[in-house]
Amino acid sequence: MDALLLRSVQNYVLDTFGQARWHEICAAAGQPVQTFEPMLRYPSGLADRIADIAAEVLGRPVEAIWEDIGTYLVTNPDREGVRRLLRFGGVSFSDFLHSLEELPGRARLALPDLDPPEILLTEVGPDRYELRCRSPLKGMQRVLTGMLTAMADDYGALCLIEPGAEDCILITVLDSRYAEARAFELARPDP
Amino acid sequence: MLSAAPTGPGLELDGATLARFMPMHLLTDAEGRALSFGPTLARVLHGAAVPGARFEDLFEVRAPGGAVSVAEVLERMPNRFRLVLRHGARVGLRGLGQPLPGAGRILLNLTFVDLITAAREYGLTDADFAATELATEVLFLAEANAAVTRELKGLTLRLEGARIAAEEEAMTDPLTGLRNRRAVDLVLDRLCAAQSKFGLMHMDLDYFKAVNDSLGHAAGDFVLENVGRILREQLRIEDCAARIGGDEFVLIVTGRSEPATLMAIANRIIARVGEPMLFDGREVRVSASIGIVRSVNCPTVEAAQLFTEADRALYAAKHAGRGRAVLAD
């Protein structure tokens, strides 16, 4: 997971703040190589360390950066793949929420040595959910929060999504058909 | 209402339930005339999905071979037959079917053989499949795998680029951008093995030590960079110019072995190197001595021997008063 998140941090910083800031972050981290490969292995904890340094260099709280990265992964048109893979989760936003528990298993089907976070969804009331996300990565909960926010938009659902205590995310669906959902066809538009 | 109760409790299904559980079903009468279509099958068949349409007009049977009517299909392969649509895209379908008790109706349930193509062809969404079908899982996997493969391809390309850059770096003299000793050895080995014709020049700068001592290393580096530029300009892309030591250079001129040509090249380089250079507003002068050996001179073309000969010629040039080229014979 570190590799995927490191690459995400890299893409997010490069696309949002430009090359100079990314060089600055890598230099501050003492990283000789400035490209993280999503398919290689990196020491665990490196992603959190780089994000902490990025927070310092960019002058923003690391939580906000992780959340932005989560949103960026879903909404960036160049990385449409993530949004599409998540949309396979279900027809509606609540379907999608329920599918999150299956997501780590699905992800392992494609990448057997991936170490995805453990996800547990509890329905605590009508349209109210508690999502627990267990991962050795400190940033994971915030990344997931950002992703959920973006996916709610994608499904056209109006939601309140906020980080709760520890690894918990609280989700309240206020209106599941607040806006038109973005189109989703099962086959990729271009082969 | 459909009723099917061979054993166990009687079961009655209405059309809507059937459509929900089997969105790709076809219900026909005993003659194979359509009574109802599942919504996804109706989409796939476009305008052809009308009540009364005949099975054999809608589908071409691929297996069992030779079968045409639905009765023939069910008689031979009721559990796994294959069809191709007659209308629109020739999408393959696999199915199973069974006559229902009672009025002699026949129920077929179909599925796509190539789900990915079908999903693209018809723009299928989750709503086109029953929740229990694994269609979405298959498509998810196909897409996730494609993404992983894309990443791996990208990684391979990036690694290849890095490897080439590293190799280039390992063969380059960082100060002048010329080749280094390692590169010269590789080029020479290759040329010798191929028994090619070429000229080898060993060049040494005259008065370089004096520049270094009087004006400092920065001035020395400046001179070396300048000489590097001159050599790049004077040689062709297929030649090789390398710095192999402090102020020592090796030039390999490929495909040339006429003494006059090689002397002309050497003299041109000597003339250019001898021109005054300006460093920090001060004039700096060096000159170059060159020893030349031709591959055709040596009975057996061998790198070490060529170097020895070129060295000897270089010393002769130095001895003869510097700033000149000597050709070994």
Same domain, B187 and B321: yes
**What confidence category does residue B94 fall into, taking pLDDT thresholds of 50, 70 and 90?**
very high
**Of residues B124 and B9, more confidently modeled:** B124
* pLDDT value for B2: 62
Is there a domain that residue A158 lies in? Answer: yes
**Of residues B227 and B147, more confidently modeled:** B227
Taking residues B229-235, what's their average pLDDT?
A: 94
Residue A138, token pair as written in the block: 């400190």
Which residues on B lie below 8 Å from A83 (Cβ)? none
CB spacing of B144 vs A39 below 8 angstroms: no
The letter for the amino acid at A92 is S
Can you count the helices (H) and strands (E) in chain B? 11, 15
Is there a domain that residue B273 lies in? Answer: yes
**Of residues B3 and A163, more confidently modeled:** A163
* pLDDT value for A187: 79
Per-range mean pLDDT, top range of A74-78, A107-111, A126-130, B101-105: A126-130
Residue B247 annotated as catalytic: yes
> Per CB distance under 8 Å, which residues of A are interface residues toward B?
35, 37-40, 81, 84-85, 88, 90-91, 106-107, 109-111, 184-188, 191
Q: Give the domain extent around A42.
A: 2-60
Residue A108, token pair as written in the block: 């392992």
**Of residues A183 and A14, more confidently modeled:** A14
> Per CB distance under 8 Å, which residues of B are interface residues toward A?
116, 119-120, 123-128, 135-137, 139-141, 143-148, 151-152, 155, 158
Same domain, A84 and A56: no
Same domain, A85 and A55: no
The complex scores an ipTM of 0.76
Least confident of B220-234, B253-267, B286-300: B286-300
Same domain, A87 and A148: yes
Mean pLDDT score across all residues of chain B: 90
Give the torsion sign (CA, B26, B29, B33, B34). negative
Of A81, A186, A191, the CB nearest to B147: A81
- Give dist(CA B77, CA B61) in Å, integer: 11
Same domain, A121 and A162: yes
Sheet holding A168-175, edge to edge: A118-125, A128-134, A168-175, A158-163
Is there a domain that residue A49 lies in? Answer: yes
Same domain, B18 and B134: yes
On the question of pLDDT at A31 being above 90, the answer is no
The residue of chain A nearest to residue B142, with distances taken between CA atoms, is A110
Give Cα separations from B184 to A138, B196, B294, B298 (angstroms): 52, 15, 16, 18
Is there a domain that residue A72 lies in? Answer: no
The residue of chain B nearest to residue A191, with distances taken between CA atoms, is B120
* Active-site residue, selected from the candidate residues B247, B280, B311, B329: B247
pLDDT tens-place string over residues A64-112: 999 999 999 999 887 778 898 898 888 889 989 998 998 888 888 888 8
- Please state whether A133 falls in left (phi above 0), alpha (psi between -120 and 50) or beta: beta
Which residues on A lie below 8 Å from B147 (Cβ)? 81, 85, 110
| B92-99 and A128-134 beta bridge pairing | unpaired
pLDDT tens-place string over residues B173-210: 999 999 999 999 999 988 888 888 999 999 999 999 99
Is there a domain that residue B242 lies in? Answer: yes
Radius of gyration in angstroms for the set of CA atoms belonging to chain B, rounded to a whole number: 41
Which residues on B lie below 8 Å from A39 (Cβ)? 148, 151-152, 155
Give Cα separations from B188 to B73, B195, B304, B305, B327 (angstroms): 74, 10, 10, 11, 19
Tokens 């979405």, residue? B136
CATH, residue A151? 3.90.1520.10
- Give dist(CA B127, CA B278) in Å, integer: 78
Same domain, B111 and B238: no
**What confidence category does residue B6 fall into, taking pLDDT thresholds of 50, 70 and 90?**
low
- Give dist(CA A23, CA A175) in Å, integer: 43
* pLDDT value for B8: 61
% of chain B at pLDDT higher than 70: 96
Q: How many domains does chain A have?
A: 2
Between helices A140-155 and A2-17, what is the axis angle to 10°?
A: 60
Can you count the helices (H) and strands (E) in chain A? 8, 4
Tokens 């009540």, residue? B51
Is there a domain that residue A110 lies in? Answer: yes
- Give dist(CA A26, CA B264) in Å, integer: 52
On the question of pLDDT at B5 being above 70, the answer is no
- Give dist(CA B44, CA B281) in Å, integer: 82
| B106-112 and B198-206 beta bridge pairing | unpaired
Give Cα separations from A66 to A7, A116, B108 (angstroms): 13, 16, 51
Asked whether the beta carbons of B159 and A39 are under 8 A apart, the reply is no
Residue B134, token pair as written in the block: 């694994």
Asked whether the beta carbons of A84 and A188 are under 8 A apart, the reply is yes
Is there a domain that residue A102 lies in? Answer: yes
Tokens 């994971």, residue? A140
Q: How many domains does chain B have?
A: 2
Least confident of B125-129, B205-209, B320-324: B125-129
Same domain, A47 and A134: no
